[in-house]
Homo-oligomer: A and B are copies of this chain.
Amino acid sequence: MSTTPIKHVAITGGTHGNELTGVHLLKHWRNNPEEICRDGLVTELHLANPKANGCNRRYLDQDLNRQFNWDDLSDHSLCGYEHNRAKSLNTLLGPKDAPRVDFIIDLHTTTANMGTTLVIKSDDALVVGMAFYVKQQMPEVTLFYEPEDRMSDNFLISLAKHHGLLVEVGPVPQGMLRWDVFDQTRQATLHCLDFLAAVRRGDEPDLPESLAGFQYVDKLKLPENERGELTAMIHPDRQDADYQPIKPGDPLFMTFDGNSINYEGTETLYGAFINEAAYYDQHIGLSLMRKIDIRLPG
């Protein structure tokens, strides 16, 4: 893997303040630093949005994990709480155009039944390789491949030189901890560090040339009336069925009076972020994904 050596790794949590798993993993690792210590790596721990975490809210003014594209970081007329917090993190971990930190692992949770999902937003061999390595160790992991130019990507992980990896685990309600979710997040993160340490010492793991994953196609809004009020919710056939196929004609939503609304697409796709509580502010019901082969860059 012909990349410059990785040394500085940041693990971030609480980017969404009510996703407690990352917040408490950071506390755990502060008290048990040997668990994240790897020869050759300097790993730092950052609570990304302490104020939102203190209020047990996803964010105060705007979603922090959408504030990191280069133009927004450079725009000082954007002055909401999370706009400022993003600029502060850019100073701490970046700056984005010449980052101090090589790699960021950002810890998230979802209310959807997505198990452990690794969100890959880069075609960098190191990022894809890391995701492949974690899936080798934890075959139950799902890979979500959505490469984006690092400077225009608006995710926190895009601050680091090699981009990074977003670890998304569920289902868990906001504002609480579940052991299964906590432990899966912990394991996935430790595998990430193992991989970076192995690459650094030139002991690169054997990885497959390609693995199956999913790519984002579209998101579907929950049905609304003319006043913008919800009139339906996720259909029980779709609830908890993340990464299961959605075929033309399959029920998507159930109206409040019990009628089904069906999928009108012509291609069989797959659901993700089904009934994610955090997306109710925009009345988004689910994402549609396409199954793909993800190739490890040469």
Interface residues of A (CB under 8 A from B): 20, 24-25, 27-28, 32, 56-57, 111, 171, 173-180, 182-183, 229-230, 233-236, 239, 254, 256-258, 275-278, 280-281
| A180 (CB) vs chain B CBs: closest residue | B236
Complex Cα distance, B254 from A239, in Å, reads 29
The 5 closest A-B pairs by CB, nearest first: A173-B173, A176-B277, A177-B233, A28-B256, A175-B277
Using A56-B281, A182-B233, A233-B182 as known contacts, say yes or no to A257 and B28 having CB atoms under 8 A apart.
yes
CB distance from A60 to the nearest CB of B (A): 12
A27-B229, A111-B173, A173-B173 given; A179·B236 CB < 8 A: yes
Listed residue (A20, A174, A182) with the most chain B CB atoms within 10 angstroms of its CB: A174
* A-B contact sample (11 more), CB < 8 A, given A174-B175, A174-B277: A24-B230, A28-B256, A28-B257, A171-B173, A174-B174, A175-B280, A176-B275, A176-B276, A179-B254, A180-B236, A182-B256
Tell me, in angstroms, the Cα distance from A180 to B20 when the chains sit together.
26
How far, in angstroms, from A180 to B258 measured CA to CA in the complex? 11
| CB nearest neighbor in B for A111 | B173
CA distance A32 to B257 in the complex (A): 9
Chain B residues positioned under 8 Å from A275 (CB to CB) = 176-178
Q: Compute how far the CA of A28 lies from the CA of B111 in the bound complex, rounded to whole angstroms.
A: 24
A179-B235 contact, Cβ under 8 Å, with A173-B173, A256-B24 = yes
